[in-house]
């Protein structure tokens, strides 16, 4: 192992591994430090996302949806099956196989690109030095780099009123490992993680109660979309209680009783399992020495400029460690940007066109401004909204809940926001991302020819609807 590199990346998640690979592609001698040991007891790349986040949760979401379809929807298609059964061992095994395949693939990419993988912990010292402590027995070493990229990611937030307890009270990681379906499941937090995990176990038969301290459901989502989501999730059996502030919890044998307050007073509920999903915090605790020269804000996020430079020369920070949404794709693009900046190229992430997705069913996805934000700003705007119920492909698939919505600057006709709840929302919203990246007007989308029948025809119809030109829905003009 060398003790000097052009670039040292601390963290092997989506941001870190992408940064390391891109640095190596650009001819830089690169090392990536990653300490994770997977559930098989082996060193693993991929960070939270691939190991205990995005990928395993999507594997369970897809498996649970197939069970739900077999039980509740296939008969509508004339496909009659015996009552389906849940094999949790097989479901979990499949999830683990997907994780291992993807994380192993990153190791192969490191080898192909000649990235040095240092298995252990890294800590930034002064002068672009990095203290490396190997996972296996060995001496701590001090490494030197011309550039350091901090990509250590984040961890779930723990709360004192509901401390984690074995497999009774768990965080998002523990919620992926249940070996049986709980009869009653409590979820603290109605954000992305809470809704996705709650959906998994509700589909598999759990009675799910979601406690959310905030009075508004999905406050960062366009109100029209969030209201539709709240209605649809309720129909699916998610009992979402807003304005419910958890005040305590008590384990009684194999059950957990949760106390909470809302506008109607104090209440308590008893569950077989409890998931704490109230957000994540940056993993900066053991990442920096006191003289590293890197500044933190009041929430312990690392302060960076628009190209992710910290206050320490030659040191960058990306992903969940810095401002902006805690999204794997945001971290990945920041990692690539930083690698190219280090190599002398001029590049920039457009933070205005980063889409967000909730992988429930239907999916919820959005990019850009909400109608609420534009209305509050006083800017002149128009919207186009079309339901999937008007789409032939969605109806043929028996999957026609939800809608597509555009928010458009009325003066320039530019697309400034797109919001989707419905089938394949995560894919359809990328059409809005592309339109916004290219500065498209809503007329540009109106003039395009969309395949028929296809879900994306709803995108076309919503674009037409912004100017009362939709063909397949009846529209009434707004009063000026």
In a domain, 163, yes or no: no
Q: Are 232 and 362 in contact (CB under 8 A)?
A: yes
49 three-class SS: helix
**pLDDT tens sequence across 273-312:** 999 999 999 999 999 999 999 999 999 999 999 999 999 9
At residue 137, the pLDDT reads 81
Among the listed residues 311, 307, 312, the one whose alpha carbon sits nearest the alpha carbon of residue 343: 307
**pLDDT tens sequence across 310-334:** 999 999 999 999 999 999 999 999 9
The answer on 286 and 146 residing in a single domain is: yes
Count of CB atoms within 10 A of residue 171's CB? 20
At residue 5, the pLDDT reads 98
At residue 478, the pLDDT reads 67
CA 218 to chain centre: 14
Distance CA 336, CA 463 (A): 33
Strand order through the sheet with 381-387: 356-358, 363-368, 415-422, 403-409, 381-387
The answer on 329 and 230 residing in a single domain is: no
Question: What integer best gives the mean pLDDT of the chain?
Answer: 97
CATH at 245: 3.50.50.60
Number of domains in the chain: 3
Distance CA 465, CA 476 (A): 10
The answer on 144 and 14 residing in a single domain is: yes
Ramachandran quadrant class, 439 (left: phi over 0; alpha: psi -120 to 50; beta: rest) = left
Alpha helices in 292-408 (DSSP H): 328-342, 371-377, 392-396
Distance CA 352, CA 87 (A): 43
Q: Which distant-in-sequence residues (6+ apart) come within 8 Å of 176 by Cβ?
A: 52, 56, 57, 60, 95, 197
In a domain, 476, yes or no: no
Q: Are 334 and 318 in contact (CB under 8 A)?
A: yes
In a domain, 398, yes or no: yes
Q: What is the arithmetic mean of pLDDT over 118-140?
A: 95
Q: Which distant-in-sequence residues (6+ apart) come within 8 Å of 134 by Cβ?
A: 118, 119, 120, 140
**pLDDT tens sequence across 222-264:** 999 999 999 999 999 999 999 999 999 999 999 999 999 999 9
The answer on 236 and 208 residing in a single domain is: yes
Provide the residue count of the chain: 480
The answer on 27 and 125 residing in a single domain is: yes
Q: Are 109 and 125 in contact (CB under 8 A)?
A: no
The answer on 71 and 8 residing in a single domain is: yes
The answer on 448 and 399 residing in a single domain is: yes
The answer on 129 and 48 residing in a single domain is: yes
Among the listed residues 363, 357, 388, the one whose alpha carbon sits nearest the alpha carbon of residue 473: 388
In a domain, 316, yes or no: yes
Q: Are 309 and 316 in contact (CB under 8 A)?
A: yes
At residue 479, the pLDDT reads 59
Of 134-143, 196-205, 254-263, 471-480, give the lowest mean pLDDT range: 471-480
Q: Of the residues 330, 349, 368, which one is the last residue of a structural domain?
A: 349
Q: Which distant-in-sequence residues (6+ apart) come within 8 Å of 97 by Cβ?
A: none
Confidence of residue 77 (pLDDT cuts 50, 70, 90): very high
Q: Of the residues 247, 278, 309, which one is the last residue of a structural domain?
A: 278
In a domain, 234, yes or no: yes
CATH at 370: 3.30.390.30
Q: Of the residues 278, 294, 310, which one is the last residue of a structural domain?
A: 278
In a domain, 480, yes or no: no
The answer on 297 and 148 residing in a single domain is: yes
Q: Please report, for the chain, how many H helices and E strands are present, in that order.
A: 13, 21
The answer on 369 and 273 residing in a single domain is: no
Confidence of residue 2 (pLDDT cuts 50, 70, 90): confident
pLDDT surpassing 90 at residue 99:
yes
37 DSSP β-pair partners: 43
193 three-class SS: helix
**Residues designated as active site:** 452
Q: pTM of this prediction? A: 0.96
Q: What is the arithmetic mean of pLDDT over 28-51?
A: 97
At residue 138, the pLDDT reads 80
Confidence of residue 68 (pLDDT cuts 50, 70, 90): very high
At residue 118, the pLDDT reads 98
In a domain, 479, yes or no: no
In a domain, 162, yes or no: no
The answer on 254 and 139 residing in a single domain is: no
Torsion of CA 290, 296, 301, 306, to 10 degrees: -120
Q: What is the arithmetic mean of pLDDT over 21-45?
A: 97
Task: Say if strands 238-242 and 207-212 run parallel, antiparallel, or are unpaired.
Answer: parallel
Domain around 65 = 4-156+281-349
At residue 1, the pLDDT reads 63
The answer on 455 and 358 residing in a single domain is: yes
pLDDT surpassing 60 at residue 480:
no
Compute the chain's Rg from CA coordinates.
Answer: 24
């Amino acid at each position: 192992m060398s003790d000097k590199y052009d670039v040292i990346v601390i963290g092997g998640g989506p941001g870190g591994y992408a940064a390391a690979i891109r640095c190596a592609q650009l001819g830089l001698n690169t090392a990536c430090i990653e300490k994770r040991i997977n559930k098989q007891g082996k060193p693993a790349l991929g960070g939270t996302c691939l190991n205990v986040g995005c990928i395993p949760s999507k594997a369970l979401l897809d498996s649970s949806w197939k069970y739900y379809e077999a039980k509740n929807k296939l008969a509508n298609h004339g496909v009659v099956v015996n009552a389906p059964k849940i094999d949790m061992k097989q479901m979990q095994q499949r999830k683990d196989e997907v994780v291992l395949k993807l994380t192993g693939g990153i190791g192969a990419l490191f080898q192909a690109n000649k990235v040095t993988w240092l298995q252990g912990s890294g800590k930034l010292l002064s002068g672009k030095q990095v203290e490396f402590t190997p996972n296996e027995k060995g001496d701590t070493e001090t490494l030197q780099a011309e550039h350091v990229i901090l990509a250590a990611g984040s961890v779930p937030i723990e709360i004192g009123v509901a401390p984690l307890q074995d497999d009774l009270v768990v965080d998002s990681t523990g919620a992926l490992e249940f070996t049986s379906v709980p009869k009653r499941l409590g979820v603290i937090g109605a954000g992305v993680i809470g809704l996705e995990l709650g959906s998994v176990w509700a589909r598999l038969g759990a009675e799910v109660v979601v406690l959310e301290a905030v009075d508004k459901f999905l406050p960062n989502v366009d109100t029209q979309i969030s209201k539709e989501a709240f209605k649809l999730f309720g129909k699916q059996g998610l009992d979402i209680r807003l304005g419910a502030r958890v005040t305590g919890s008590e384990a009684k044998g194999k059950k957990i009783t949760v106390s909470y307050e809302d506008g109607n007073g104090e209440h308590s509920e008893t569950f077989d399992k409890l998931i704490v999903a109230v957000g994540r915090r940056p993993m900066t605790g053991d990442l920096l020495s006191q003289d590293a020269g890197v500044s933190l804000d009041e929430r312990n996020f690392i302060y960076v400029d628009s190209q992710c430079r910290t206050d320490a020369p030659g040191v960058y920070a990306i992903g969940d460690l810095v401002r902006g949404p805690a999204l794997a794709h945001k971290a990945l693009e920041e990692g690539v940007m930083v690698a190219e900046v280090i190599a002398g190229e001029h590049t920039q992430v457009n933070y205005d066109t980063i889409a967000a997705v909730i992988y429930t069913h239907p999916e919820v996805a959005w990019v850009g401004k909400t109608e609420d934000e534009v209305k509050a700003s006083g800017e002149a705007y128009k919207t186009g909204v079309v339901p999937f119920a008007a789409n032939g492909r969605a109806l043929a698939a028996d999957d026609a809940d939800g809608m597509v919505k555009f928010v458009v600057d009325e003066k320039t006709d530019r697309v400034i926001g797109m919001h989707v709840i419905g089938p394949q929302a995560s894919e359809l919203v990328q059409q809005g991302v592309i339109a916004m990246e290219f500065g498209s007007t809503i007329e540009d989308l109106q003039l395009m020819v969309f395949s028929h029948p296809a879900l994306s025809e709803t995108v076309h119809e919503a674009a037409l609807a912004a100017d009362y030109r939709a063909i397949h829905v009846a529209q009434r003009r707004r009063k000026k």
